[in-house]
């Protein structure tokens, strides 16, 4: 037979003799070839063995990678399911683990199923991985079940402790005195939850100890939280409870008590400071304060601090009274009073222990307060007074026991405030037209609000203010005049509530008419007629302007009402009648008294009425009127020797022999304000007083 080895053909022949003889007779080259073939066979066998080993190793690698990936996917899905069950089910419930097991079994076949083809045609995992994978999944399932049991154990423990905390909140420290009650409660809790895998019973003793310790710990924390620090320390020091807590917990609780004490001291100090500051400030302003503040300070800061505080309040009250007294004096008098009260060794008041003998700082504070008040008063008198007006009204109400919440009392308080503002200005030498009711800012805001209204609303706005301010409306209107109230509006407003209320409405309507400029005649005759009705009777330039604008407003109203939009004044009788009516209704008409034509204090008054009223005038009404030779006598007016000259609304200067009568210190012209005393004159007439 012919065989091929390594691609070489050999012919085998029959040879005589023994095999050895035959072999010896074979060509040596052939013998060498035979030996080589046997070696190659060994090499081939070794290579095959190596290939098999590599295949097995590769199979293991593929199987391991596949199993690792499968297990990883399994754990991811199990984790998702675990979290879902945890969000829906109590982990202590038996159904929790059962649901976890069911889900694991449903995943097993999907996770361990063999693929039909390896990656890119490579090696497939072997069937053995299903057995190995199943074991690994079993271990993973066991881990998840164990985690569920741990979770349940924690939940059971936490629930027991939470209930223990609720018990301490409900029953207080008394629960700590009855460990058997706590144990019975926890036992009942275990029964209600079910003996999950024996967990409740196995851990009952441990949980009882934990619950008792938790009760003590939370009782101490509750005392700390409610600032009952003495009770917290007593509980920690009680032998019945102190051994229930670990040294670390005990130290932590004592530190919390110490920290809370420090916080409480700091807060008490702040509270005392606030009480002292507010009370002294109220005393310094003359406001009432509650005497219980001294007990509060004694409780929070001690009796010594309370005594110092009470003394400071007394001194603050003293400073307030002294400053208030200074504010009623003329500046020079106040300066002298300050000098007299200054604590110094050569001051007899100081040596006698009077005024500010106890503390020079009080005198300095009084001095500074007075100068600050004086400067504030010069800048804006009403603003300065308003700093104390609420305190004064509150003090009066406090003293009389009036409830300030009542509406009528609120109106009364407002009137009291206005009276106080006027009184304080009078005390400081402000009189007559200079007295104000509003601060500069308040008056400006009122004028701004007035200017933004529609023309039809302006009258109602001022009517409303007249109702609020009552008999002090005159002061209010003067404040608005100073802050830029449109000229003429004040004249109209002063007619409110009188028989000539409609005249005021007509003036206001024309004054703020959008076409006022177009409807006001530019003719010289018109202007001359208005001036003739005003200039001889009103010396004050500002009053002349107000009266002029009021007459024009009245004329514009009637002109538009008549449908006359020409804006001309050409001698037409109807237009002249409208102007005559405007002058007569706004000024009220002139009267003659002692050969001098004047405007009476009340518009529309007849000459005889005015003369009758003037007969009732007495020297008391003329107090302060002086001549260079002595007091002015009312008989000069009654006998016709003296004349009146209009210098304001219802205000008159008195002229005698061509010279004005002066005031008491001869520094200014004496002003006779008939408008202020007119009601008194009329009451004298009605009572027959002059007969």
Task: Mark 468-490 as b/e (b = at least 16 C-beta within 10 Å).
Answer: ebeebbbbbbbbbbebebbbbbb
| Residues whose CB falls within 8 Å of the CB of residue 475, separated by 6 or more in sequence, listed in order | 418, 422, 435, 436, 437, 469
Q: So what's the pLDDT on residue 633?
A: 92
Q: So what's the pLDDT on residue 354?
A: 44
Q: So what's the pLDDT on residue 654?
A: 92
Q: So what's the pLDDT on residue 642?
A: 93
How many Å apart are CA 153 and CA 147, to the nearest integer?
10
Question: What torsion, rounded to 10 degrees, do the Cα atoms 657, 658, 659, 661 define?
Answer: 70
Instruction: Give pLDDT < 70 ranges for the chain.
Output: 1-40, 109-133, 156-212, 215, 240, 344-359, 388-410, 494-500, 539, 571, 603-604, 685-691
Q: So what's the pLDDT on residue 596?
A: 86
Give which of 683, 604, 614, 612 is closest to 652, Cα–Cα.
614
- Distances, alpha carbon 272 to alpha carbons 88, 107, 276, in Å: 54, 71, 6
Q: So what's the pLDDT on residue 414?
A: 82
How many Å apart are CA 258 and CA 355, to the nearest integer?
47
Start-end of H helices in 227-246: 229-237, 239-242
Give backbone dihedrals phi and psi of 656, rounded to 5 degrees, phi first.
-130, 120
Contact (Cβ atoms closer than 8 angstroms) between residue 603 and residue 588: yes
How many Å apart are CA 121 and CA 117, to the nearest integer?
6
Q: So what's the pLDDT on residue 229?
A: 83
Q: So what's the pLDDT on residue 5?
A: 28
pTM assigned to the model: 0.44
Beta-sheet pairing, 630-631 with 591-593: unpaired
Q: So what's the pLDDT on residue 35?
A: 58
Question: pLDDT tens-digit profile of 642-660?
Answer: 999 888 778 889 999 888 8
Give backbone dihedrals phi and psi of 256, rounded to 5 degrees, phi first.
-65, -35
Q: So what's the pLDDT on residue 15?
A: 43
How many Å apart are CA 287 and CA 397, to the nearest integer?
11
Q: So what's the pLDDT on residue 493?
A: 74
Token pair in block for residue 471: 């008999």
Q: So what's the pLDDT on residue 6?
A: 30
């Amino acid at each position: 037979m012919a065989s091929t080895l390594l691609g070489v053909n050999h012919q085998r022949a029959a040879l005589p003799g023994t095999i050895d003889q035959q072999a010896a007779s074979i060509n040596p080259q052939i013998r060498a070839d035979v030996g080589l073939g046997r070696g190659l066979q060994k090499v081939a066998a070794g290579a095959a063995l190596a290939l098999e080993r590599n295949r097995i190793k590769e199979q293991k690698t593929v199987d391991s990678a596949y199993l690792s990936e499968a297990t990883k996917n399994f754990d991811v899905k199990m984790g998702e399911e675990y979290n879902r069950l945890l969000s829906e089910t109590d982990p202590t419930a038996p159904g929790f683990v059962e649901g976890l097991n069911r889900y694991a079994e449903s995943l097993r076949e999907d996770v361990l199923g063999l693929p039909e083809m390896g990656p890119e045609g490579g090696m497939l995992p072997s069937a053995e991985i299903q057995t190995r994978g199943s074991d690994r999944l079993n271990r993973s399932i066991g881990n998840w079940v164990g985690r569920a049991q741990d979770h349940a154990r924690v939940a059971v423990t936490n629930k027991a402790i939470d209930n223990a905390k609720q018990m301490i909140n409900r029953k207080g420290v008394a629960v700590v005195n009855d460990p058997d009650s706590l144990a019975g409660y926890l036992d009942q809790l275990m029964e209600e939850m079910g003996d999950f895998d024996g967990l409740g019973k196995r851990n009952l003793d441990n949980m009882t100890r934990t619950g008792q310790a938790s009760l003590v710990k939370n009782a101490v924390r509750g005392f700390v939280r409610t600032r009952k620090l003495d009770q917290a320390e007593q509980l920690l020091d009680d032998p019945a409870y102190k051994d229930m807590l670990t040294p670390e917990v005990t130290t932590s609780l004592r530190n919390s008590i110490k920290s809370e004490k420090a916080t409480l001291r700091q807060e008490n100090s702040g509270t005392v400071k606030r009480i002292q500051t507010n009370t002294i400030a109220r005393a310094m302003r003359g406001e009432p304060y509650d005497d219980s503040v001294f007990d509060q300070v004694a409780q929070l800061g001690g009796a010594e601090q309370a005594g110092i505080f009470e003394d400071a309040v007394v001194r603050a009250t003293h400073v307030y009274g002294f400053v208030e007294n200074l504010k009623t004096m003329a500046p020079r008098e106040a300066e002298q009073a300050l000098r007299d009260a200054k604590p110094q060794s050569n001051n007899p008041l100081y040596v006698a222990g009077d005024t500010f003998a106890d503390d020079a700082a009080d005198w300095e504070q009084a001095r500074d307060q007075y100068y600050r008040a004086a400067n504030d008063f010069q800048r804006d008198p009403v603003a300065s007074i308003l700093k104390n007006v609420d305190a004064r009204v509150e003090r009066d109400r406090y003293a009389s026991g009036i409830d300030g919440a009542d509406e009528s009392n609120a109106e009364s308080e407002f009137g009291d405030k206005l009276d106080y503002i006027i009184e304080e200005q009078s005390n400081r030498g402000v009189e007559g037209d200079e007295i104000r009711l509003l601060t500069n800012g308040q008056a400006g805001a009122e004028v701004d609000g007035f200017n933004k209204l529609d023309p039809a609303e302006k009258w109602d706005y001022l009517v409303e203010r007249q109702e609020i301010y009552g008999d002090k409306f005159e002061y209010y209107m003067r404040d608005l005049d100073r802050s830029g109230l449109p000229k003429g509006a004040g004249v109209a407003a002063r007619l409110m509530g009188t028989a000539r209320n409609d005249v005021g409405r007509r003036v206001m309507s024309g004054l703020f008419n959008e076409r006022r400029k177009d409807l006001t005649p530019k003719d010289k005759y018109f202007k001359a007629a208005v001036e003739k009705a005003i200039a001889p009777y009103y010396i004050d330039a500002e009053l002349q302007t107000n009266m002029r604008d009021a007459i024009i407003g009245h004329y514009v109203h009637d002109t538009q009402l008549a449908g006359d939009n020409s804006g001309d004044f050409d001698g037409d009788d109807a237009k002249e009648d409208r102007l005559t009516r405007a002058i007569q209704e706004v000024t009220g008409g002139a009267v003659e008294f002692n050969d001098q034509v004047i405007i009476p204090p009340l518009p529309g008054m007849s000459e005889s009425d005015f003369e009758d009223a003037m007969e009732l005038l007495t020297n008391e009404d003329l107090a302060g009127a002086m001549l260079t030779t002595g007091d002015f006598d009312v008989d000069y007016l009654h006998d016709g020797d003296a004349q009146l000259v209009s210098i304001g609304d219802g205000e008159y200067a008195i002229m005698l022999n061509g010279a004005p009568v002066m005031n008491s210190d001869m520094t200014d012209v004496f002003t006779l304000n008939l408008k202020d005393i007119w009601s008194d004159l009329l009451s004298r007439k009605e009572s027959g007083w002059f007969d």
